[in-house]
Amino acid sequence: MDSGQDFLTLHGPGLPSGRHTVPGQAQRAAGALRNVMQCLGVRRRSRSQSRSRELYLQEQSLEVAALNEQRLGLQDDKDLQALLKGSQLLKVKSNSWRRERFYKLQEDCKTIWQESRKVMRTPESQLFSIEDIQEVRMGHRSEGMEKFARDVPEDRCFSIVFKDQRNTLDLIAPSPTEAQHWVQGLRKIVHHSGSMDQQQKLRHWIHSCLRKADKNKDNKMNFKELQNFLKELNIQVDDSYARKIFRECDHSQTNSLEDEEIETFYKILTQRKEIDLTFKEAAGSGETLSVDQLVVFLQHQQREEAAGPALALSLIERYEPSEMAKARRQMTKDGFLMYLLSADGSAFNRAHRRVYQDMGQPLSHYLVSSSHNTYLLEDQLTGPSSTEAYIRALCKGCRCLELDCWDGPNQEPVIYHGYTFTSKILFCDVLRAIRDYAFKVSPYPVILSLENHCSLEQQRVMAQHLHTLLGPMLLDRPLDGVTSSLPSPEQLKGKILLKGKKLGGLFLPGGEGSPEATVVSDEDEAAEMEDEAVRNQVQHKSTEDKLRLAKELSDMVIYCKSVHFLGFPSPGTREQAFYEMASFSENRALRLLQESGNSFVRHNVSHLSRIYPAGWRTDSSNYSPVEMWNGGCQIVTLNFQTPGPEMDVYQGRFQDNGACGYVLKPAFLRDPNSTFNSRALAQGPWWARKRLNVRVISGQQLPKVNKNKNSIVDPKVTVEIHGVGQDVASHQTAVVTNNGFNPWWDTEFEFEVIVPELALVRFVVEDYDASSKNDFIGQSTIPLNSLKQGYRHIHLLSKNGDQHPSATLFVKVGLQD
């Protein structure tokens, strides 16, 4: 950071310093400020003293806001100005609950403040960060708006959707112009904040902690506030040491730190000795790295294949903050840190953040990101169903969604977990959500897995909705020339496919009452139902219901015809057609892998297999997907709504190949003559023994997990290998007590990996607790083939799979044959 002024830029003068901090509206601003100051417990001063302080804060607000607008590249932006001024908006929660609330963007341009009349609300609970926003939607495009604001014109309605499980914020603006300002303004800030580098994110995080610590909002820090600040930062510092740093920084000897003194304190706090040592190792006795020295570091430490003067110069150009050093073709320690914190210095291979694999092979050659009971937000017996669940899954790159369809009132099919108390949503509403979000994250095909329990009449309604709502996106006829094997993701770009029951074959459609109609059965659906009572009800439906399928719906099923699995073919038996696919419960799949592992691998070379969670998982828990992937199974479905190690590994696998939802299987899982069997591992092309060394050096800005402000985390790191049975292993560091800000482990682990193409490495950080289960802090899972060597930062994800703004691990990775 360059100056105390820059520090103030991000810090701002604290909580709302007035609703409308624009010239000519000082009175209202002062009034609102007085209210806020009273809320914060600020003592009343004499009127003149109070007045001058308010004007001072007001001027400061304008100054700070202007500097932050500039930092975001949004100076004089009309939308941003409107948000800084604030608006009275209607907050909508139900048909009968609409309340006026005042919303305002803070001067830090990163926090939204909501005025609340609740007496017990803390100031922090009235704030939310731009970092928390997943998406801003205009119109009636959330479930709340759809249900409760139909009477209000769309151009006045908007919704703020959050990344975590927090409820969507539905708002009505007084005019279309004001709604536009909020939607466009928030979208711009979210976009610009997302493109901030790690150093800027770190500064912002530290400043948000400083805001909370500066209780009287005077932009100074006395020693008590400094102690609070350190607790917010998640670090326990010995009082005498903290006092020593405080005195060193208090040049003005006023018993408080301000401006440059806070800046000095920040620099001491964020000093990283491990970076100093790494830089010294590369630069020798010099103050900067020359191009040649940087090339040596990139070759010998970072193991960069393209290491050479061109790469070194491009890194200096991209990350060196000093113009003078740049002109001399040198990298300073600040530039070195910027590089290590960037995507180029990440442990995840930057080249794998885009689609780099061959997308022209048959669908059966890929692992496909797939969701089970996609409509559910919670458990499978009483939880809510929601179109929002489909949107969340698609935004996470999911390419196979499940729709459990049942007869609904007014001839409108509904989706819910049959015979349970889960809530119901309209089939047509789900299709609208899928249409709007199917290809926002990935252009590759989406498969809709239909569990069809509807009458013939409502099946025809389903077919009509599919046709009218999905239009040309829906694949309703075979592709030209694709007659003997499944088409490729490339050929199916932008297409939605149906998986379901079908009358007849791909090129010989059957009709109602044709002999082929007898193959239509509900036994797969019955097997998938989650409890015995439900299963019995499905199995005891009349034969007539079991067998009847509307031709209109049947004809829309092209390459994913659901069939009952009759076993692997033996000589003389009919092999399943390439477009036929079976579903297996996790238990049956594990049994097949145990008994006929290699047959399953060969079957999955040319056919799609779908795996779903066992019937007893009514709590929406998940199984490990790794064993299924090891057997070549493509559509391994998990409950996306349930965070945990299984979803962590899942998200890790599918962040590869540009997070497009399709990952090419290794060659030995695509070979029709493969002898691979993960349960009975023998020598073969997959056998490529590697030694993986991981040195866990330090952690940075780990988030608090306990809401108690006096609670500081005691972090420990576990490094796990997930892959074939022989490769599964884990090691953990010691516990560092009372330090989530910059814990230091410097511990080295060694792993032996036999089948590296199937291995994933998971780094998980927990808050150690001697008396109960450790609390999860953050994790990152990286396919071994995407793990970069050398000194790297690992950017940690939250329990829900979202990136923590500035939490990282610093590691050194080595991989030898």
pLDDT band at 487 (very low <50, low <70, confident <90, very high): very high
Decide if pLDDT at 235 tops 60.
yes
Q: Write down the pLDDT at residue 748.
A: 98
Q: Residue for token digits 């006929």?
A: 596
Terminal-to-terminal C-alpha distance of the chain: 43
Catalytic residue chosen out of the listed positions 352, 365, 417, 795: 417
Print the SS3 string covering 67-109: HHHHHCCCCCCHHHHHHHHCEEEEEECCCCCEEEEEEEECCCC
With left for phi above 0 and alpha for psi between -120 and 50, is residue 611 left, alpha or beta? beta
Q: Show Cβ contacts of residue 688 under 8 Å, excluding neighbours closer than 6 positions.
A: 754, 755, 756, 757, 817
Angle at CA 483, nearest 5°, toward 480 and 484? Answer: 150
Rg (CA), the chain: 29
Q: Which residue has the higher pLDDT, 579 or 70?
A: 579
d(CA 334, CA 199): 10
Decide if pLDDT at 728 tops 90.
yes
As a whole number, mean pLDDT of residues 254-282 equals 87
Say whether 217 counts as a known binding-site residue. no
pLDDT band at 708 (very low <50, low <70, confident <90, very high): confident
d(CA 225, CA 115): 25
Give all domains of the chain, ordered by start, each with its CATH number.
Answer: 4-198 (2.30.29.30), 273-345 (1.10.238.10), 363-669 (3.20.20.190), 690-816 (2.60.40.150)
Q: Write down the pLDDT at residue 231.
A: 83
Say whether 113 counts as a known binding-site residue. yes
Say whether 101 counts as a known binding-site residue. yes
d(CA 435, CA 470): 6
pLDDT band at 50 (very low <50, low <70, confident <90, very high): low
Q: Residue for token digits 């095909």?
A: 445
d(CA 668, CA 756): 12
DSSP codes joined into one string, 716-756? EEEEEEESSGGG-EEEEPPPPTTBSSS-EEEEEEEEEES-G
Decide if pLDDT at 52 tops 90.
no
Decide if pLDDT at 679 tops 50.
yes
b or e along 730-759 (b: 16 or more beta carbons within 10 Å of the residue's beta carbon)?
Answer: ebbbebbebbbbbbebebebebebbbbbbb
Say whether 106 counts as a known binding-site residue. yes
Residue 574: is it exposed, middle or buried by C-beta count within 10 angstroms (0-12/13-18/19+)?
exposed
pLDDT band at 38 (very low <50, low <70, confident <90, very high): very low
H/E stretch holding 442 reads none
HSE-up (13 A, CA, CB side) for residue 502: 25
- Whether 415 and 374 have beta carbons less than 8 Å apart is answered as no
Strands (E), 567-689: 580-585, 609-612, 635-638, 662-664
Respond yes or no: is residue 352 known to be catalytic: no
As a whole number, mean pLDDT of residues 485-505 equals 95
Its sign, for the CA torsion 735, 737, 738, 739, is negative
As a whole number, mean pLDDT of residues 60-71 equals 73
As a whole number, mean pLDDT of residues 97-123 equals 78
d(CA 522, CA 534): 13
Say whether 175 counts as a known binding-site residue. no
Q: Write down the pLDDT at residue 486.
A: 96
- At 14, the amino acid letter reads G
d(CA 643, CA 238): 36
Q: Which residue has the higher pLDDT, 636 or 59?
A: 636
d(CA 377, CA 323): 51
As a whole number, mean pLDDT of residues 579-591 equals 96
Angle at CA 521, nearest 5°, toward 445 and 500? Answer: 10
Say whether 182 counts as a known binding-site residue. no
Decide if pLDDT at 347 tops 50.
yes
Name beta bridge partners: 732.
718
Task: Calculate the CA 75 to chain-centre distance.
Answer: 30
Q: Write down the pLDDT at residue 625.
A: 97
β 580-585/257-258 pair status: unpaired
Say whether 98 counts as a known binding-site residue. yes
Closest CA to 401 of 610, 643, 714: 610
d(CA 714, CA 765): 10
Say whether 118 counts as a known binding-site residue. yes
Q: Write down the pLDDT at residue 520.
A: 52
Closest CA to 393 of 366, 364, 371, 413: 371
Decide if pLDDT at 1 tops 50.
no
Strands (E), 399-546: 400-406, 414-415, 425-426, 446-452, 496-500
Say whether 739 counts as a known binding-site residue. no
Q: Which residue has the higher pLDDT, 207 or 40?
A: 207
Closest CA to 73 of 179, 203, 200: 200
Q: Write down the pLDDT at residue 57.
A: 63
| Mean pLDDT, the chain, integer | 86
Q: Write down the pLDDT at residue 60.
A: 65
Say whether 596 counts as a known binding-site residue. no
Say whether 704 counts as a known binding-site residue. no
Q: What are phi and psi of 139, to 5 degrees?
A: 85, -160
As a whole number, mean pLDDT of residues 195-224 equals 75
Q: Percent of the chain at pLDDT above 70?
A: 85
Distances (CA, A) of 421 to 414, 418, 743: 14, 8, 47
As a whole number, mean pLDDT of residues 75-80 equals 90
Closest CA to 693 of 656, 719, 711: 719
Q: Where are the alpha helices (DSSP H) in 607-723?
A: 626-630, 645-654
HSE-up (13 A, CA, CB side) for residue 813: 25
d(CA 397, CA 386): 18
Say whether 59 counts as a known binding-site residue. no
Say whether 109 counts as a known binding-site residue. yes
As a whole number, mean pLDDT of residues 788-802 equals 96
Q: What are phi and psi of 545, to 5 degrees?
A: -60, -40
pLDDT band at 489 (very low <50, low <70, confident <90, very high): very high
d(CA 481, CA 780): 42
Say whether 156 counts as a known binding-site residue. no
Q: Write down the pLDDT at residue 202.
A: 72
Respond yes or no: is residue 372 known to be catalytic: yes
pLDDT band at 514 (very low <50, low <70, confident <90, very high): very low
Q: Which of 64-73, 117-126, 170-179 has the lowest mean pLDDT?
A: 117-126
Q: Write down the pLDDT at residue 637.
A: 97
Say whether 96 counts as a known binding-site residue. yes
Q: Which residue has the higher pLDDT, 806 or 719?
A: 719
Catalytic residue chosen out of the listed positions 11, 181, 372, 722: 372
Q: Which residue has the higher pLDDT, 24 or 702?
A: 702
Say whether 768 counts as a known binding-site residue. yes
As a whole number, mean pLDDT of residues 231-245 equals 82
Between the CA atoms of 600, 655, 761 and 773, what dihedral angle is there, to the nearest 10 degrees? -100
Say whether 316 counts as a known binding-site residue. no
Distances (CA, A) of 590 to 570, 582, 609: 21, 15, 13
Q: Write down the pLDDT at residue 220.
A: 82
Say whether 373 counts as a known binding-site residue. yes
Closest CA to 235 of 814, 627, 737: 737
b or e along 428-459 (b: 16 or more beta carbons within 10 Å of the residue's beta carbon)?
Answer: bbbbbbbeebbbebbbbbbbbbbbbbbeeebb
Q: Write down the pLDDT at residue 545.
A: 45
**pLDDT tens, position by position, 395-416:** 999 999 999 999 999 999 999 9
Q: Write down the pLDDT at residue 507.
A: 67
